[in-house]
Structure formats: C-alpha cells, structure tokens
Amino acid sequence: MARKRKNRTHLKGAAPATASTEGAPKSFIIKHGPVGHSIAQLVRDFRKVMEPNTASRLRERSRNKLKDYLTMAPALQVTHLLAFTLTPIAPSLRIIRLSNGPTLSFRVERYSLMKDILNTSRRARSIGMEYLSPPLLVLASFPPAGPTTPPHLTLLMKSFQSLFPPLSPHTLALSSARRVVLIAYNPDRGTVDFRHYVITVKPYGVSRRVRRVLEGAQKAAGGILDLGNEKDVADFLLRKRGEVGPDGGYESAASSGAESVAGDDADAVDLADDYVGRNNKKGQRRAVRLDEVGPRMELRLVKITEGVPGKEGSVIYHEFVKKSKKEVAGLQAAHAAKEKLRKERRAEQERNVERKKAAKGKSTGGDNEDEEDEGEDEEMVSEGGEDEDEPDWDAEEEISEGEDSEEEEPQDSSDSEEEEQRRPPAKKVRIKGKR
C-alpha cells in the first residue's frame, strides 16, 4: 500500500506584514511586582483588548526587572509598555512611550474584570473572531484643543490615540470593524473611563420573534419553533406571549419597543459593504448595537514625566504636587545640567573606546613583526648545521657506566633467583570431563 503524502499547511518563514499592521503600534502589557490574582486577571483581560498587536502570551518571571523589558522592547519594535502594579493605596497603571517617553502614571480607582461583565450581561458572548482585528478608538468628552485647555489633557488624549492603529476610512474593510474601545473623560470627577464593546448588527425595525423566524430557530430543540402555547400565529409575531392589548387587539411591531431592536432611526445604518453575520449584505438597512464585554476601568491621571523609568526627566504634570514657576525653572535647569553631564560622559566613553581600539590595532601589528623576526632567526639557525647545537665533548671526562653495569649484573641475577624461590608453586588446573 502506498504511503500517504502529507500536505504542507504551514508557511515557511515569517508571514509578510500587511499594510494595516506594518505601522501599527505594538505593546507589552505586564504586571510588575506582587499584584494578586485579580490584577493578574486584569492584565490578561487588557491583553485581549489590545490584540492582535500585543504579546498576549508574554510570561513574566519574578526575577525580571522593568529595565529588562525596556531594553528588549525596541529590538522587537514594541512602541508601548503598560505596567500594572499594586501600591498600598490602590492599583496603578503606567503607560510608557518607548523609547524616549513620556511616561503617564494612573491610579486605578475602580475596575471590573471581563468575566464580571459577562456574568451580569443578559447576552453572554463567547470569545470568537473579533480579536483578530484591532479595535476602533472613540474619545468622548475631551475638551477641544485651545489656549484655555489644560496642556496635560491634550497630551493625555494623544497618548491614548498612539496606543491604537490610526483609522483610515478609505482603506478600512467594514468586516474588520468588530470592536470599539471607548475612552471618556469625566470633568466632574477628573477621571477617565475605559470601556470595551463588541459591535453587533441586527435587522432594523423587526421584532425579536419575527427575527427568529427570518434567521431560523437554531437554538430551538430540533430546529422547529414551539407554538404550542399560542392560540394564533399572530400572538407569537405581533405581541408578547400571553399578553392582550387594552382593546382586545394585537400589538403592532412599531409600538413594541421592548421587542424591536434599535427602532430609533439614529441607530439604523445602510451597510456600505458586506458585514459579518447572516443576511448582512451590502445596502441592507441594519441596526447597530454595542455589547460591553469588559474590562471596565476608572483611571485617575496622577503624573506625567519626560523620559522612561530609570531615565526620568522633568515632571510635566502632577495631580497632587503643585510648584511655583521659580521651582519649575530650577528643576528644569537641574535636569538640563544632568542631561549635559550625561552626554559628556557618553562622548568621553566613546572616545576611550576608539582609543583602546586604535592601541589594540597597533599592538597586534607589532606582535606580527616580532613573530616574523623570530621566524627569520630560526631559519638562520637551521642553516648553520646540527654541530653547532651539540655541546663540546670533554676528553678528560671519565666514563664508569660500563663498569657499574658489569658489577650490577650479578646482583640482579641473585635477586631474581631469590624472588623465584619465594614465589608459590603454580596450581594445577583440573579439567572436568566425561568418564
């Protein structure tokens, strides 16, 4: 029987980068230090939000330092590092823009995990194909840029924008818009609300029961709708089960707000292209709904600093510490002097490296010349002959080796005879044979 040939289904080498993912920002989301089970789960949920442009299977070790990630990230073309830590007051989040900063520090006032949101939702959703494409970013309630707008809010808004790929309506495929990340600023509390939604598209202006007839009864037992408790088909299609209208008539689909899906005209759109789902074809009128899947966070901006951890610069904004203009100018001058000293030391180190390389090159060249001279001397010695290497013979030197050897011979023979006498006789080997 011929052996079945295996079909090669895996591509060799790295997958080619597409235009949408080539310039997309990439991120590391880590937990730093002992944080507990809930924060560790929050880190995993936040990685789900940032997929597919994040290291979703990154494993932190206890001996890993924050400096290790900062050193490794630029080599992997990672643009952002998000670190969750647990402080005595509350959990904190740091968003670090690699590799020159700035660094934004947040306090996590409140949070809910993804499993908590799904447990409280009436429509339980399973994780599917929505996470193969990046989410769409929506910024709400941020003040417009202007002379009266605080500068830290503008920087905060741009920092969140840099976390996600830029949106291009002309090149964006409609089927890839599956999720939405909402970041809303609350001016009353001074906090930022983080929400994560999944986009669902349903038929517009159709009650839930009619939609079940149109889409089919996949969830029903045997694929057949159960109408045994209804007196008429209209009871199932036009009103709630067992409910009679005030005049004894039937409730229409237009007046059934609970049964209709997004009956408002503001929620209805005409699909510009084919979308994911059944009967969601181009040109069809559909109702768009957002289902929250979590996680949910309320963040308070605490501090914005220049640079990255370990190479911090001046403090751009601080929520609780306020300084005068004179103190700010003094801190900026101190940071400028520190940066100047660092550059001078860097330049001096580079000069020392170049000087050592040049000295090493000269020393290797001199060693090669010495080796050549030694080789020439060895050749001259070999040409001189073998007699020059031998020492001169001393004619007056006495040789007594022969006499000593003659005297020692009888002693050796007598010793050998004594050893033979001391040896025990050899045992006879008996061979058992058949008699």
Give percent of the chain above pLDDT 70: 66
Q: What is the pTM of this model?
A: 0.67
Q: Determine the straight-line distance between the first and last CA of the chain, rounded to whole angstroms.
A: 62
What confidence tens digit (pLDDT) does each residue in 332-388 have? Answer: 788 888 888 888 998 999 999 999 999 988 887 666 655 555 555 555 545 554 444
The pLDDT, as a whole number, for residue 417 is 59
Highest mean pLDDT among 65-74, 225-234, 405-414: 65-74
What confidence tens digit (pLDDT) does each residue in 197-207 have? Answer: 999 888 777 76
Using the Cα atoms of residue 360, residue 366, residue 369 and residue 371 in order, give the sign of their dihedral: negative
C-alpha 46: how far from chain center: 11
Instruction: Kindly state the average pLDDT of the residues 213-240.
Output: 64
Least reliable range by pLDDT among 64-78, 187-201, 232-246, 358-372: 232-246
The pLDDT, as a whole number, for residue 111 is 96
More confident residue, 201 or 179: 179
Instruction: Kindly state the average pLDDT of the residues 216-230.
Output: 60
Average pLDDT of the chain, as a whole number: 77
pLDDT band for position 243 (50/70/90)?
A: low
The pLDDT, as a whole number, for residue 412 is 53
C-alpha 179: how far from chain center: 20
Residue environment code for 349-366, b if the CB has 16+ CB neighbours within 10 A, otherwise e = eeeeeeeeeeeeeeeeee
Please tell me the CATH superfamily of domain 22-205+261-304+306-315, with its number. Brix domain (3.40.50.10480)
Virtual torsion, Cα 306, 39, 165, 169, nearest 10 deg:
-130
The pLDDT, as a whole number, for residue 14 is 45
C-alpha 193: how far from chain center: 24
Question: What does the domain layout of the chain look like in residue ranges?
Answer: 22-205+261-304+306-315, 325-360
What confidence tens digit (pLDDT) does each residue in 34-45 have? Answer: 999 999 999 999
Q: Closest Cα partner for 291 from 424, 131, 180, 425?
A: 180
The pLDDT, as a whole number, for residue 60 is 87
- 195 and 296 in contact (C-beta within 8 Å)? yes
pLDDT band for position 265 (50/70/90)?
A: low
Highest mean pLDDT among 47-51, 318-322, 380-384, 420-424: 47-51
Burial class (CB in 10 A: 0-12, 13-18, 19+), 91: buried
